[in-house]
A and B are shown apart, each in its own frame.
Chain A
Amino acid sequence: MKRTKLASLAIITVIFFAALTQTSQAQLRQVELRVDGLACSFCAYGLEKKLKALKGVKSNLKIDLDSGVVTLFTRENPFVSFDRMLEAVRDGGFTPRKIKVVVAGDVTTPSVLKDDKEAMKVASKIQKTVKEQKLHLPKNQLVLKIEKLNQIFFLLKYPDKNEKYKKYQKSFEKLTSIDENQTVVVTGIMHIPKKKDRKVPMVLFVESFKKR
């Protein structure tokens, strides 16, 4: 009886530490929201109130009216939801145009995808949501991901055709060649799904990364 109790305790401890390890795997550090429609500090103050009300957002956010950029700093726990962020901006009567994020985590092979079939399913969903950007989505562009609990960022290369993204594309290629489970800090632009496009995979167009 005593042995069973001890064994249960050991299992619980292992699960607890495994969970701890998992949560420390990735973190969202900074989010830059490009918000359209911000003309004065009077309306920006309102947006600040709404964003600060989000769990996981620190109180020291910054607003630049001339560029329309709102910079948020996030707590490690709870993980701030992008849906909530976009909802807060939209409900405030503004238009979210772009999200730039800095996220730290481990780059791994796509173990979350069970097989090629699932990989193709995810690829097709992503293709659907970013179709206006004419993105090529061969399977090898999905090989990198950053995982945080159930949050997965699919890292993608910027669209090939645009010259100004060349340096970002080189950065992405370097990222594909680093060791598996290497911890990196990735800066990238998130694709903003439309209001109706819920549950689409989170897509991050890589701009740069740093090994940690």
Chain B
Amino acid sequence: MKATPFSLLFIVFILNFMLGTFVEAHEPIFGIGPHTIHKYGIGLEAELEGHENNRELHSEVLYGITEDLSVTASLPYHLAEKESGLSSLFVRSKWRFFRDDGIGGSNQAAIAFGVRTPGFQTGPDSFGYLFAATIGREARREYFFSGLRYILNTTNKDGFKPGDLFKYDLAAGIRPVPAGYEAPDLVLLLELNGTYTQKPVVPVSTAHASPGSEDIESGNKLGVGPGLIFTYKNIMLKAGIDFIVVQESKRIPLGDEIEFVFALESHLSPFSYIYGK
């Protein structure tokens, strides 16, 4: 069966109802937050993200080694007019090193490290490494998140090196109506997502083959992303659109004006029986 966005979303729904779920809290849609899944928890996420002509369907599996240390494996499926197929496998580990819990809220901080295998954008042999730090506050009424991410790309066999990325995010959220337990819950988010993209290193042979590729420049772009997170019991739907409002140069790579995310998330707790023993 061909993996389409809707078939994968459907599979996540079915697994969700079959296995019973355990879920974690809210996170920014485009940025990164400090939450980790609970100990022994397994999470599944299907996320469709991209631009008008360039989309990716991410299938994510998340595992909680402890309540503060989790590992995520993400396999994007690239959907484009010219070429479609599996893209870079991304494995990330997050460690929540600080947590201050209070009644109906929590302040947290985490760091993350990840590795991305070569894929569509990078070409063969170019690995990417993620270094991230994030803080967040979650409460009954309001949310706040901030994150910094540095993606270090390596040079591939042909001498091509995609530009490194430095991402800086701020997100604020509000729950208009604090929902009680078992009631549908809506959180509205507004995110400010910045990216500094470094100029890629293009070998002379490639530059000749694709004229204009050497003209790509370094620069910043800044997007504003309204979004919403809707939850009902153990089902979470996330949706957001990021509008680029500031772009230093038209020659910055991936300078699309609108980016979107639509995701369905659920976390499973297959090992919860161990608590009964």
Contact = CB atoms under 8 A, between A and B. Distances in A.
B25 A92 contact: no
Given A40-B25, A65-B140, A49 B103 contact: no
A46 interface: yes
Interface stretch (A7-15, A83-91, A108-116, A177-185): A83-91
A34 B104 CA distance: 10
A42 B105 contact: no
B272 interface: yes
A62 B103 CA distance: 16
Nearest to A85: B275
Contacts of A67: 103
A84 B181 contact: no
Nearest to B236: A42
Contact of A43 (B20, B24, B103): B24
A118 interface: no
Contacts of B277: 55
B275 A88 contact: yes
A40 to B, nearest CB: 6
Contacts of A66: 104, 140, 178
A171 interface: no
A81 to B, nearest CB: 10
Contacts of B249: none
The B contact surface, by secondary structure, is loop
Contacts, number: 123
Contact-residue bracket for chain A: 20 to 34
Nearest to A80: B276
A47 to B, nearest CB: 9
Interface string B155-184: 000000000000000000001001111110
A113 to B, nearest CB: 31
Contact-residue bracket for chain B: 35 or more
Interface string A153-188: 000000000000000000000000000000000000
Contacts of B179: 40-41
A185 to B, nearest CB: 27
Contacts of A62: 181
B267 interface: yes
A49 B181 contact: no
B38 A41 contact: no
Interface in B55-92: 66-68
Given A39-B140, A40-B185, A65-B104, A49 B272 contact: yes
A101 interface: no
Contact of B25 (A42, A50, A64): A42
A42 B231 contact: yes
Nearest to A96: B101
Interface in A31-78: 34, 36-46, 49-50, 53-55, 62-68
18 contacts: A37-B99, A39-B138, A41-B180, A41-B231, A42-B231, A42-B233, A45-B23, A45-B181, A50-B22, A53-B273, A54-B275, A54-B276, A64-B180, A65-B104, A68-B104, A92-B39, A94-B101, A95-B101
